[in-house]
Structure 1
Amino acid sequence: MKNKTVAAWLAFVGGPLGLHRFYLHGMGDTLGWALPIPTALGLYGIQRVQQFGQDDQLSWVLIPLLGFTIAACALVAILYGLRQPQQWNARFNPQASADAPAGLTNWFTITAIAAALMVGAAVLMASLAYSFQHYFEYQIELAREISQ
């Protein structure tokens, strides 16, 4: 039986590592194995900023990968938590009845939804702000070079 609350928390906390995909679809899930790649690249981007400073252009691309991956996993946690019990059990527990306890929503599920909404929105906005700021700073520098 695949529990909706466990899946929502795994998507929120361990989503960038693919834990929710492994829980729901098994260890052979391709997307579950692919999720750590943008996470690792984003962490590498953070390391590059610490090592080379904020003018490192490669980190401008890598850091948002981490943010967008975290935000996408938070969205998945919200979608899991808001799914109707009948739909959840039909998709992930087809051998169980439509009103099986594994698909029911409880306060732990609601807490996962609220936490995923707060953290996911904050990370998404921070990633967008970081990306746009560095993109426009780069464009201004290019314009200055052309004008001189």
Structure 2
Amino acid sequence: MKNKTLAAWLAFVGGPFGLHRFYLHGLSDTLGWLLPIPTALGLYGVERARMHGLDDGLSWALIPLLGFTIAGCALTAIVYGLTTPEKWNARFNADAPSDAAPGRTGWITIGAVVISLLIGSTVLMASIAFSFQRYFEHQVEEGRKISQ
């Protein structure tokens, strides 16, 4: 029996490492194994920014990968949390009745949805702003090089 509340919290907290995918689909899930790649690249970008400063071109290209992965996993947590018990149990608990307890939405599930919405939207907007700011600063610098 796959619990919807646990899946939502795993998607929010451990989603960038694929924990929710492993919980729901098992260790053979390909997407679960691929999710840590953009997370690791984004963390590498953060480390490069700490070492070389924010003017490092590779760091500003890699950091948004982390943000978009976190935001995507937060969206997944929201989708899991708002799935109806009937759909949840039909998909992940096929042998259980449609109103079985693991598919029910409780206050802890709603907490996961609210926190995911708050953190996910903040990280998404920050990633978009950071990406565009660095991209346009890079374009201005390249334009200055050409004009001189």
1:22-80 CA distance string (max 9 Å, x none): 00000000000000010000000000001111111001111000000000000000000
Partner of residue 29, structure 1: 29
The residue type paired with residue 30 of structure 2 is: T
Partner of residue 87, structure 1: 87
Partner of residue 16, structure 2: 16
The residue type paired with residue 74 of structure 1 is: A
- Whether 1:7 and 2:7 are equivalent positions in the alignment is yes
Partner of residue 42, structure 2: 42
CA distance in 1, matches of 2:144, 2:46: 28
CA distance in 2, matches of 1:90, 1:146: 60
CA distance in 2, matches of 1:144, 1:30: 45
The residue type paired with residue 79 of structure 1 is: V
Q: How does 1:1-148 map to 2 (within 5 A)?
A: 1-148=1-148
Structure 1: which 4+ aligned runs deviate by more than 6 Å?
Answer: none
Please state whether the residue corresponding to 1:133 is helix, strand or coil.
Answer: helix
CA distance in 1, matches of 2:134, 2:62: 12
Percent identity reads 68
What is the total number of aligned residue pairs between the two structures? 148
Q: Unaligned 5+ residue runs, structure 1?
A: none
1:88-143 CA distance string (max 9 Å, x none): 00000000000000000000000000000000000000000110000000111111
Please state whether the residue corresponding to 1:102 is helix, strand or coil.
Answer: helix
TM-score (ref. length: structure 1): 0.99
